[in-house]
Chain A
Amino acid sequence: MSTLHTVNKSPYEKNSVGSCLAHANSGSSILFYEDAVYATIKGASIEQLVTGTEGVKLYALGADLKARGITDDKLIDGIEIVDYAGFVDLAAEHERVQAWV
């Protein structure tokens, strides 16, 4: 019964990333895309929150990372980069998609 959570706003602009992390059940996945990819940069104040969410698989959209100049070396360990085709696959593989706008 797993969910793909999608989140697209910067964690410093609004609380969508925080709320998503707080509501994502173990076994679900979170895809960070658009401005939410800023949440995947290591060493940021939100890193503990991101890595501390139990049992949730984390993904980032490669095209949005690249657009924003976030290179692979800057990413928190364990975040898997996907492309749009990967985004589609994630949506298909999970039972529902919940958007955190």
Chain B
Amino acid sequence: MSEDIKRFMYINRRAPHGTIYAWESLEVVLIGAAFDQDVSLAFFDDGVYQLLKSQDTSGIETKNFSPTYSALGDYDVTKLYVEQESLEERGLTLDDLMDLKWEDEDDDWAEKDSIRLVSRAELKEVLEQQDIVFSF
């Protein structure tokens, strides 16, 4: 890895729709994808709600940006860490979350899961490996 590449971590701790932070943070990730850094996203605390399936904002008449998570793989954003404890606290499991995939061109375009379910202890270690941490 070139010494010029930094590890960028985008922290997502907030629920979507009630505030704009989730959507505007995703906008940063999408723009940031063009800069070829080593990107990770962490979803924990209320941030896990951002990845729930079947979001439909037609009744509240706000933008439903949840389909954008599925596009992250196409932008080479393939490391979405989701904290197990945050899911459990909220009565959720991996099955409740969107099935996010990316295609690994180094592995014959095999489809792989973008979501990496980690324990709090594992997430702590991941966070300690980052260079620049964005919070929203």
Contact B123 A23 (CB under 8 A): yes
Tell which of B11, B45, B120 touches A98, judged by Cβ atoms closer than 8 Å. Answer: B11
Contact B13 A19 (CB under 8 A): yes
Chain B contributes a number of interface residues (CB within 8 A of A) equal to: 17
Contact B132 A15 (CB under 8 A): no
Neighbouring A residues of B123 by C-beta, 8 Å: 23
Name the interface residues of A50-101: CB closer than 8 Å to any CB of B.
95-101
Contact A98 B129 (CB under 8 A): no
- Bound together, the chains give a CA A22 to CA B13 distance in angstroms of 14
Q: Which 8 A-B pairs have the closest CB atoms?
A: A99-B135, A98-B133, A25-B124, A1-B128, A19-B45, A25-B128, A101-B135, A23-B124
Prevailing SS type, chain A contact patch: mixed
Chain A contributes a number of interface residues (CB within 8 A of B) equal to: 18
B10 to chain A minimum Cβ distance, whole angstroms, is: 12
Q: For the complex, is A3 an interface residue (Cβ under 8 Å from B)?
A: yes
Mask, B41-72, CB within 8 Å of A = 1, is 00011000000000000000000000000000
Tell which of B11, B45, B127, B135 touches A3, judged by Cβ atoms closer than 8 Å. Answer: B127
- Bound together, the chains give a CA A57 to CA B45 distance in angstroms of 23
